[in-house]
Amino acid sequence: MIVKTDNIIKEKTYNFARRIVRLYRFLIENREYILSKQILRSGTSIGANVEEAIAAQSKKDFIAKMYIALKEARETNYWLRILNDEDFVKTSRIENLKNESIEIIKVITSIIKSTQKQKNN
């Protein structure tokens, strides 16, 4: 199931997860334990589900895993917005992560749509 776009999203989500881990550490140092765990879980899950999708046994399985990655990306964006709006982290740091999460959402959505078209043809 590996295609060139998948390799791009694989790298994007891996690098995004690393930045989320750094954000988690920052939040823990500042004694924010609840939201930090939420964003760590959802933010690192995106790439894990992309990896599972790449190893999918069928297009149906691939699409299902990519949908999970999409949901996790949207959830991560939600937590980033909360952290920003409640001033847990500097806006500049969060803005970059929010923009990156939006880009990931767009790429995953595009992958799902193009795979569904291929599946239907």
Q: Is the pLDDT of residue 2 over 60?
A: no
pTM, two decimals, is 0.90
Domain ranges in the chain are 4-120
HSE, side-chain direction, 13 A CA sphere, residue 81: 8
Write down the CATH superfamily of domain 4-120: 23S rRNA-intervening sequence (1.20.1440.60)
Q: How confident is the model at residue 5 (pLDDT cuts 50, 70, 90)?
A: low
pLDDT digits (tens, 9 = 90+) for 14-42: 999 999 999 999 999 999 999 999 999 99
Written as six digits, the tokens of 24 are 């988690």
pLDDT of res. 12? 97
Burial zone of 79 (CB within 10 Å; 0-12 exposed, 13-18 middle, 19+ buried): buried
Written as six digits, the tokens of 32 are 């924010």
